[in-house]
Amino acid sequence: MKNIHIDLRSDTVTKPSPKMREAMFHAEVGDDVYSEDPTVNRLQERVAELLGKEESLFVPSGTMSNQVAIKTHTIPGQEVICEENCHIFNYEAGGPAFNSLVQLRTLRGKYGVLDVSEVEAAIRPDNVHVTPTALITLENTHNRAGGTIYPVEKMREIYALAYPKGIPMHLDGARLLNAVVATGIFAKEYSKYFDSVSICFSKGLGAPVGSVLAGSKEFINKARRYRKIFGGGMRQIGILAAACIYALDNNVERLAEDHKNASRLADGLRKLPGIYIDMAQVQTNMVMIHVRHPKFTPESLSRAILEKGLAALAIDSERIRAVTHLDISDEQIEEAIFIFQQVLKD
Residue 200 in the binding site for ligand TLP (CB under 6 A):
yes
> What is the C-alpha to C-alpha distance for residues 101 and 321, in angstroms, rounded to an integer?
32
Beta strand pairing status for 211-215 and 169-173?
unpaired
Q: Between 44 and 344, name the residue whose CB sits nearer to ligand TLP.
A: 44
Q: Between 199 and 339, name the residue whose CB sits nearer to ligand TLP.
A: 199
Q: Between 224 and 321, name the residue whose CB sits nearer to ligand TLP.
A: 321
Selected range binding ligand TLP among 16-24, 60-68, 248-256, 291-299, rule: CB under 6 A: 60-68
Q: How far is the CB of 210 from ligand TLP (least distance, A)?
A: 8
Number of residues that bind ligand TLP (CB under 6 A): 15
Residues 236-265 that bind ligand TLP (CB under 6 A): none
The DSSP symbol for 270 reads: T
Report the b/e string of 82-111 with b at 16+ CB within 10 A. bbebbbbbeebeebbeebbebebbbbebeb
Pick from 69, 67, 43: which is nearest to 216 by CA?
A: 69
Site string for ligand TLP, 63-82 (x = CB under 6 A): x--x----------------
Q: Between 200 and 336, name the residue whose CB sits nearer to ligand TLP.
A: 200
Residue 7 in the binding site for ligand TLP (CB under 6 A):
no
- By CB neighbour count within 10 A (0-12 exposed, 13-18 middle, 19+ buried), where does 138 fall? buried
Residues 166-185 that bind ligand TLP (CB under 6 A): 172, 174
Residues 120, 75: contact at Cβ < 8 Å?
no
Cβ-closest position to ligand TLP:
62
Residues 290-329 that bind ligand TLP (CB under 6 A): none
Q: Between 11 and 79, name the residue whose CB sits nearer to ligand TLP.
A: 11
Selected range binding ligand TLP among 29-37, 57-65, 256-264, 337-345, rule: CB under 6 A: 57-65
Residues 135-154 that bind ligand TLP (CB under 6 A): 139, 143
What string of H, E and C letters represents the secondary structure of 9-61?
CCHHHCCCCHHHHHHHHCCCCCCHHHCCCHHHHHHHHHHHHHHCCCEEEEECC
Q: What would the DSSP string read from start to end of 205-269? A: T--SS-EEEEE-HHHHHHHHHHHHHTT---SSTHHHHHHHHHHHHHSSTTHHHHHHHHHHHHHHH
Q: Between 244 and 344, name the residue whose CB sits nearer to ligand TLP.
A: 244
Q: Between 206 and 344, name the residue whose CB sits nearer to ligand TLP.
A: 206
Residues 85-114 that bind ligand TLP (CB under 6 A): 87, 91
Residues that bind ligand TLP (CB under 6 A): 10, 12, 61-63, 66, 87, 91, 139, 143, 172, 174, 200, 202, 211
